Amino acid sequence: MSRALSARVAGVLLSTIACALAAGCHRDMRDQPRYETFEASSFFANGQSSRPLVAGTIARGWLPESEAFATGRSGGQFVSEPPVELTAALVERGRNRFNIYCSPCHAFSGDGDGMIVQRGFRRPPSFHVERLRQAPAGHFFDVMTHGLGAMPSYAAQLQPRDRWAVVGYVRALQLSQNATIEDVPLSARAQLEVQP
């Protein structure tokens, strides 16, 4: 058999296989009978196509560790301290998340003069004003969760642990702008002294 003839036979064979496979695909697999969201149904007595969630249902993987961890509140009041251990790794994670999500408005220093503000958008308050220095930790968590004023919610971008990490970093920023030598442990003061 010549090379041209065998190429033609192979082409016809491949075309036949492709047509057979295409004929096997039916739209009825894609258009299966199902209920659309909120579509009426005769299956349940109330005419709904699905049952309401049981009160207190929590999606898999979303069980909060505690009320304070999940909401920033305890007994309806903002918690004064983060309900997580503030380790160096957690504060570093907070710095990373802050630089990504918060610094465009709040600036890297937390003074509220970020790049977005420099471009004409509304200026957020500085984290270094007395009101926010005295604010409980739960306030910052709540603002990240629900938004406040011009700031939108960042709950979709920051999981609760990351929000607490950002709170820890904001506290570190606040301390950095208002610290005295007495705030530095004796063992670390030697590193701060200026050598002649």
pLDDT tens, position by position, 40-52: 888 888 888 888 8
pLDDT tens sequence across 73-95: 998 899 999 999 999 999 999 99
pLDDT at 22: 67
Which residue type sits at 28? D
Domain map (residue ranges) of the chain: 85-180
Least confident of 34-43, 56-65, 150-159, 184-193: 56-65
Rounded distance, CA 37 to CA 35, Å? Answer: 7
CATH number belonging to domain 85-180? 1.10.760.10
Rounded distance, CA 167 to CA 17, Å? Answer: 61
Rounded distance, CA 174 to CA 66, Å? Answer: 26
Q: Show the tokens assigned to 37.
A: 């969201």
